Chains A and B, each alone.
Chain A
Amino acid sequence: MTESGAAVPAHKELVSLTDTTVTTHLYTSATGLIERSAAAFAAGVPEGADDDGFFGPASVTWRMSADLAAPVAGLRSLLVQALHPLAMAGVDQHSGWRRDPVGRLAATMAYLTTITFADRTAALRAAARVRRIHDHVRGTDTVTGRSYAAGDPALLLWVHGMLVDSVLAAGSLVGTALSAADSNRYVAEMVTAAELTGVPRPLVPSSVPELDLYIASVRPTLRCTPAAAESMTYLLDPPGLDEDTAEIWRDVRDAAIAALPRWARHMYGYGTPPALTPGRRTEIRQSLGVLDAIFLSQPDVLEARQRITVRMRAARPA
């Protein structure tokens, strides 16, 4: 779901890891991230909607959107999405991340929030915009030599599938563990999300077993490219964190890695972590609760969540 415009060859953007100018720039940019993500979230939740959108207040999708495990799901999905060389190359070569990482992530937050909570008209409008941006993202992956296009349903499907799979995996590990029936329902509901980005509906897995089969079918094409390894190393262990924050970060990272499928851990070269003890799970959830409190305190986020909660409560069977 890359959406930045100009195609810049990757090597021109590569910079030394110790480049202090860039370091400062990234640090400065990253500071606005939660504020802008939160603003995007708050703005994406409508005050009054013409209809309940493509999912609705009784959907599993709405329920999971506010799950405590969301940061773990996000990190885990980045980890698995990065293993697709063409998807990785598309981001590496086109993403606006390098120029405006905060804006890039906030845009994704806005998009996801809109297609989830806005009415159908607004959701369709947002999806059309993303599809138009994808049309311009084309290139050749320097690692595999294969050409790619962001609008390729195969790439879109991978990004979609990994999001869905990660929400389920992170939920069952440290968040809301869905029943088998609700897991299937969630996968089926999310077919619409894939369709909105341009994947023909028949191609999209609509149950957990189908999703598993699909993932297994893509696995032979996956590899941990240098770009993926480097980016993930950074993301999992951001250097220079102060002691307090590094500890909280570790909890999210541990959970994301623990939630990975074994093959993905293998490809990255991570060992198999010990099973999460109930005590460790509680600790991770406590860290996630702190994060959620910070997010919640951003302007308008509480009100946006309350709007969602009111609609969900109204839809709850008495």
Chain B
Amino acid sequence: MKLIRLLGAAMAGAATLVLPRRRPGRLRLDRGRAALRLAARGGVRYAASTPRLFTAAGEQRQQLREDLALQTAEDVAGTLGAMKGVMMKIGQMASYVDDGLSPAVRHTLARLQDSVPPMSPRLAAAVVEEELGAPPERAFARWDPRPIAAASIGQVHRAVTLDGRAVAVKVQYPGIAETIAADLRNVALLRRLLRIAAPAQDVDALLSELRDRVGEELDYRREAASQRLLAACYDGHPTIHIPQVIGELSTRRVLTSELSGGVRFAELASWPQHERDLAAETIYRFVFRSLYEVRAFNGDPHPGNYLFHRGGRVTFLDFGLVKHFTPAELQPLMDMARTICVEHDPEAFRASLEDAGFLRPGAPLATQEVVEHLAVFYDTIREPGPLTITSDYASAVVRRFFDLRCPVAGYISVPRSYVILQRINLGLFAILGELSATADWRAISEEIWPFVRGPAATPMGEAEAAWRARRPARGRDTWPWAPTAG
């Protein structure tokens, strides 16, 4: 970003007349990128400690937050407009898909995130009134004007509905949807930003994924549909809990869901290992059951999106980034797992990689090389038996994924529809690694794999099987509100 530094000259020199006569050197990004990528290889830390709660940072900070609160739509535009909101989303996305996110870029994005204060109580109330037709104190029996958490383009308030249900109300910043929609149309600039943020990635694939996903986040009704679908699919599940959407209090810019208790990720870390293992098992089951059976994948595996209860029960929050797959998109993923883990057929595995578009067909590589390179992603599920997922393993997965020096890497790409899937490997394993979670992941996978349908592998598996036996079997497409894939 040398240019940006040069531009500082224009900024700084507003009142001066100091002009260079000389040519600058070639201002190249590449060299810096390479250095930063090398630095980043040292290890990937999952941003588990990123504070999402305003209240988490102490009284003084809270006071500052209130003093800085966004009071008008203009304040919102100044803070999140002109690409800044989109840059934050790019950062969120890139942090999951690329270890090449340089410390400088990472820092810029973190600061950008810090620069967003909450809405003032009055501004948030105005949005609620516009959306629900009544100010919050009339639309709800009780309304807490102080937000409890930041959401991606809004904030969350606690409230009690007129019929007495405790709810979390997500309120979108006013005017931001229009701004972000306009920013998403500046494809040329987005490509440049993505090239800088995630140089190792296929920019076109990232770009279309970014536009689709962020575009969807602008309308909370889409998120509500995903949340309803998953809540219905897991209704009554012994450990997976999805808060119910309160439809009559949800609109494009307001999303009201049942309020859930539970502790945050940071507190879970202090629980006994047995509890952490159970929580990890629930997360694992949720991710892969959703993928294989609901054909939906929550693409935001942020630790802030979970609330933990004793006995392995986990509440899943925030469905703004749910990706819905078509059966055709899902099939190659199943084929890959089946061929490498169950059939142990390297050639068939390679063929399924090619079918999915991960591996260029006819690449001049020995199949053995391909398998060795990619099998790391299946290490946890190739053999039965209890296995502990460590942070080191999680980092190894990430490093392997982004190992551009390996000869195989040149022939691998991530097709558009699977960009978000990388977060399974990166985000999920980062979380499981953080928990040092132990389980027989292979046996659990066999339970879930549609091409195996193995017996219950754990007590949680038995409870899940009993739950499944109690409810009518039906696929996601029978739910009338199921969002379309794509």
- Residues of chain A touching chain B, judged by Cβ–Cβ distance below 8 Å, are 1-2, 14-15, 17-19, 22-24, 26-28, 30-35, 37-38, 40, 68, 70-75, 77-78, 81-82, 84, 87-88, 90-92, 95, 97-98, 101, 104-106, 108-109, 111-112, 159-160, 163, 166-167, 227-228, 230-232, 234-235, 238-242, 244-249, 252, 256, 282-283, 285-297, 302, 305-306, 309-310, 313-314, 316
Contacts and interface: CB of A to CB of B under 8 A. Distances in A.
B206 to A, nearest CB: 15
26 contacts: A17-B21, A34-B5, A40-B12, A70-B14, A71-B11, A74-B9, A78-B17, A88-B19, A101-B18, A105-B8, A108-B13, A234-B20, A235-B10, A238-B23, A242-B30, A245-B2, A282-B186, A286-B82, A286-B83, A289-B83, A290-B87, A291-B4, A292-B84, A296-B112, A306-B64, A313-B67
Contacts of B111: 296-297, 302
B16 A105 contact: yes
B25 interface: yes
A231 B13 contact: no
Shortest Cβ-Cβ A-B pairs, 8 listed: A289-B82, A27-B25, A245-B3, A231-B19, A34-B8, A74-B10, A109-B12, A297-B108
A37 B67 contact: no
B470 interface: no
B182 A247 contact: no
B483 to A, nearest CB: 30
Contacts of A285: 81-82
Contacts of A33: 5-6, 8-9, 12
B27 A242 contact: yes
Nearest to B8: A34
Contact of A294 (B1, B25, B64, B188): B1
A285 B193 CA distance: 15
Interface residues of B, number: 57
A302 B114 contact: yes
B17 A2 contact: yes
Contact of B84 (A27, A74, A282, A289): A289
Contacts of B330: none
B28 A242 contact: yes
B457 interface: no
B11 A74 contact: yes
B22 A290 contact: no
A166 B17 CA distance: 13
A34 B108 CA distance: 13
A309 B24 CA distance: 36
B7 interface: yes
Nearest to A239: B23
A290 to B, nearest CB: 5
A2 B8 contact: no
B192 interface: yes
B23 A17 contact: yes
Chain A, interface SS category: helix
Contacts of B115: 296, 302, 305
A104 B18 contact: yes
Contacts of B112: 293, 296-297
B18 A18 contact: no
B264 interface: no
A241 B26 CA distance: 6
A240 to B, nearest CB: 4
Interface string B25-49: 1111110000000000000000000
B17 A101 contact: no
B413 interface: no
Given A82-B19, A241-B27, A297-B111, A290 B14 contact: no
A283 B83 CA distance: 10
B27 A78 contact: no
Contact of A97 (B11, B19, B107, B110): B19
A1 B16 contact: yes
A160 B27 CA distance: 32
Contacts of B390: none
Contacts of A248: 3-4, 7, 189, 192
B213 interface: no
Contact of B22 (A15, A78, A105, A232): A15
A163 B19 CA distance: 15
Contacts of B5: 30-35
Contacts of A235: 10, 19-20
A74 B14 contact: yes
A129 B459 CA distance: 77
- From B21, B83, B115, residue with most partner A Cβ within 10 Å: B21
B82 A74 contact: no
Contacts of A92: 19
Interface in B54-75: 64, 67-68, 71
A310 B68 contact: yes
Contacts of A314: 67
B183 interface: yes
Contacts of B17: 1-2, 78, 81-82, 84, 87-88, 90-91, 95, 159
- From B10, B20, B67, B196, residue with most partner A Cβ within 10 Å: B10
A315 to B, nearest CB: 12
B15 interface: yes
B146 interface: no
B142 interface: no
B4 A245 contact: yes
Given A73-B14, A244-B195, A289-B82, A252 B7 contact: yes
B12 A245 contact: no
A245 B20 contact: no
Interface in B403-424: none
A91 B18 contact: yes
B7 A249 contact: yes
